Amino acid sequence: MTFTMRGVLSLACLILSLGLVERVASFDLTRNDNLAVYWGQDSSGNQKSLASYCQDSTIDVFPIAFLYIFRGTGGEPVIDFANTCNQWDQGTFSGTDLANCTSMAKDIKTCQAAGKLVTLSLGGATGQVGFSSDSQAQSFADQVWNLFLGGSSSIRPFGDAVLDGVDLDIESGTPAHYAAFVNRIRSNAGETTLNATSFALNVTAHANATLHANTTHGHANATTTHADKAKNTTTVIDVTNKNKYYYITAAPQCPYPDAYIGAALNDAPFDAVYVQFYNNYCGLDQPSDYNLATWDTWAKTKSANKKVKVYIGAPGSADSAGEGYVDVGTLADYVADAQAKYSSFGGVMLWDASTAHDNARFDLGIKNAMTASALKLTPEQLPRSNTTTAAAPAKSSQASGRKATPGKPRAYSRFFRL
Ligand SMILES: *[C@@H]1O[C@H](CO)[C@@H](O)[C@H](O)[C@H]1NC(C)=O
Ligand SMILES: *[C@@H]1O[C@H](CO)[C@@H](O)[C@H](O)[C@H]1NC(C)=O
Ligand SMILES: *[C@@H]1O[C@H](CO)[C@@H](O)[C@H](O)[C@H]1NC(C)=O
Ligand SMILES: *[C@@H]1O[C@H](CO)[C@@H](O)[C@H](O)[C@H]1NC(C)=O
Ligand SMILES: *[C@@H]1O[C@H](CO)[C@@H](O)[C@H](O)[C@H]1NC(C)=O
Ligand SMILES: *[C@@H]1O[C@H](CO)[C@@H](O)[C@H](O)[C@H]1NC(C)=O
């Protein structure tokens, strides 16, 4: 019995490990043609369910916005995804203002199964955020870990769906102690010395070791069968998410250094920064002051992670930012220039999914341009598979695109500032 259980457990471990390898292979942080698109704030007034934006290979990462109050009623944070899930329409967990968004779990898993990352963005324009000490930041990191990432809690807003990391869009409060927050998430995730690439290698090595151990214990046939099954599936979801790499990103504004998150970017390792080149003098509409070069230098000389990826953040439509919108062709020129000049360049970030989608598929336009220019520059780089994902049809009744009831507070982002 004991022996059988151990066998079952190590088999499960192996399958999960292989599953993770598949997952990590789907999203590749080292590329320079990734597309990260914010979802959740319904900038167009016509926001569809998350899964409806996951049905093709256009978007690679969805930071979902926002967790906008760190310490709300009952000491729990507050989240708001406009017409899809909020505390008024979907209800909250008892004694808190934390919305019960378990209705979104299926969509999150659908997008993850298509090889995309879904992360939680913290902050936004109406954010009530900040820490008074490192220990407060660390205990908030534990809360976020338990509610949304690899930990556990009886009040997880997305139920058993496990997000792929966090994004810091901090624009209010004090800038102190965010490095302690980031480092605590990293230590909870077992990532203190590993980046996405080395973490994946480590997991593969672990899977190989487990395979070897099972073989020497006379379980070679069963192991092989399960391993083959796992390999046979194009994407295997790591159901317990025990071996997942959690990504940490930030969305600084282009004026360098960023007033709110700038210090943390130097003190703790981030995977990527989505620099907002809009609503500012250094935006895409101001070519003479556009400063991606400064951010590339920061990445290589000042950042805690010298391999951090820098994205060009852009509005998805003329209406989605006060200023800084440029058309797809102009943005594609910025991208081609960045791919040629800056090894830190990771791709494009758009605010937001609803506006980009309704703006003649601005998201698809920039993705195709970005992939083509990357390939021209580095022909040996394999193009990613361009297939339509068989995403489950969005069933959520909250995803009907109906407008939010007027008068309710909304966590609008500064992205939307006019
Ligand atoms: C994939 O290929 C099709 C057909 O060539 C094209 O229409 C589409 O825009 C491509 N890109 C993505 C990201 O799906
Ligand atoms: C959360 O909402 C789901 C329906 O989406 C419901 O089944 C579940 O009981 C709710 N959980 C709590 C703790 O209220
Ligand atoms: C794991 O095993 C596979 C096949 O046996 C091999 O190709 C791969 O290099 C190994 N990976 C590691 C990290 O040892
Ligand atoms: C594994 O091999 C043993 C002995 O050769 C056999 O009895 C068992 O049925 C096999 N199991 C599978 C799943 O093939
Ligand atoms: C692999 O998938 C194919 C098609 O779904 C199936 O026919 C085959 O039996 C699978 N092989 C294994 C080893 O599970
Ligand atoms: C990850 O870490 C390894 C080992 O420290 C290093 O060689 C590699 O360049 C890093 N890669 C990235 C993408 O950060």
Average pLDDT over all residues of the chain: 83
Q: What is the pLDDT at residue 16?
A: 47
State which of 58, 368, 371, 373 you would mutate to test the pocket of ligand 1, scoring each by most atoms of that ligand within 8 A of its C-beta: 368
Pocket, ligand 1, Cβ cutoff 6 A: 56-58, 364, 367-368, 386
Contact assessment for residue 299 and residue 271, using Cβ atoms and an 8 Å cutoff: no
Model confidence, pTM: 0.79
Measured CA to CA in angstroms, residue 418 lies from 172, 278, 356, 413 at distances of 17, 11, 18, 11
pLDDT at 388 over 90: no
The pLDDT value given to residue 126: 85
Per this entry, what is the length of the chain? Answer: 418
Residue 357's identity, in one-letter code, is H
**Would you state the pLDDT for residue 367?**
97
Q: Using the 8-state DSSP alphabet, how is residue 368 labeled?
A: H
CATH number of the domain located at residue range(s) 31-191+219-413 in this protein? 3.20.20.80
Sorted by where each begins, the domain ranges of the chain are 31-191+219-413
Is 137 buried (19+), middle (13-18) or exposed (0-12) by CB count in 10 A? Answer: buried
What is the helix (H) or strand (E) element at residue 228, kind and residue range? helix 220-232
pLDDT in tens, 353-379: 999 999 999 999 999 999 999 999 988
Q: How far apart are CA 170 and CA 157, in angstroms?
A: 22
Q: What confidence score (pLDDT) does residue 199 get?
A: 84
Burial category of 391 from C-beta neighbours within 10 Å (exposed 0-12, middle 13-18, buried 19 and up): middle
pLDDT, position 414: 42
Determine the pLDDT at residue 220. Answer: 34
Distance CA(110)–CA(107), nearest Å, equals 5
Question: How far, in Å, from the CA of 308 to the mean position of ligand 3?
Answer: 27
pLDDT tens digits along 163-196: 999 999 999 999 999 999 999 999 999 888 888 8
Greatest extent of the chain over all pairs of C-alpha atoms, in Å: 71
| Residue 382 pLDDT grade (very low, low, confident, very high; cuts 50, 70, 90) | confident
Instruction: Look at 21-35, 38-52, 175-189, 399-413 and tell me which has the smallest mean pLDDT.
Output: 399-413
**Looking up tokens 């390898």, which residue turns up?**
21
Atom of ligand 2 nearest to the CA of 103: 5
- The best mutation among 28, 197, 245, 300 to test binding of ligand 6, ranked by most ligand atoms within 8 Å of the C-beta, falls on 197
Nearest CA to ligand 6 atom 4: 198
Return the pLDDT at 258: 97
For range 73-99, the mean pLDDT: 97
Residue with tokens 């660390």: 138
CA of 266 to the centre of ligand 4 (A): 55
pLDDT at 151 over 90: yes
Residues 321-332: what's their mean pLDDT? Answer: 97
Q: Name which of 1, 5, 6, 19 is nearest 213 in CA terms.
A: 6
Kindly list the distances between the CA atom of residue 278 and the CA atoms of 1, 45, 270, 404, in Å, as whole numbers in the listed order. 62, 21, 22, 26
pLDDT digits (tens, 9 = 90+) for 8-35: 444 444 444 444 444 434 789 999 999 9
The alpha carbon of 197 and the centre of ligand 6 are apart by a number of angstroms equal to 6
Q: Which of 392, 352, 400 is nearest to 108 (CA)?
A: 392
For the record, the structure tokens of 315 come out as: 């509005």
Q: Which amino acid is at 140?
A: F
